[in-house]
Amino acid sequence: MTLDILNSEIISLCAVCISDRSGGQIALLVILLSFAVLGLMNSSWKKYFKKRHKSSS
């Protein structure tokens, strides 16, 4: 009985969280996260892989 009540409360909370975010906010979050990941990948490329490539040739 208590599990049914908790599950319905969790589902309703998740529905509220999803409905509070608009598509534009989600798209902006995805774009910003992708820029952050690309920046980290770029800095790691410059730091680790370019040094190895120059030293091996």
* Model pLDDT for residues 1-57, shown as the tens digit of each residue: 455 655 666 666 555 555 567 888 999 999 999 999 999 999 988 888 777 666 555
Q: Which two structure tokens, joined as six digits, stand for 7?
A: 């599950």
pTM of the model: 0.50
Q: Nearest 5°: CA angle at 29, between 26 and 32?
A: 150
Number of residues written out for the chain: 57
pLDDT of residue 31: 97
> How remote is the C-alpha of 56 from its chain's centroid?
35
pLDDT of residue 49: 78
Q: Which residues of 3-31 are buried (b: 16+ CB within 10 A; e: fewer)?
A: eeeeeeeeeeeeeeeeeeeeeeeeeeeee
pLDDT of residue 57: 52
pLDDT of residue 13: 57
pLDDT of residue 8: 62
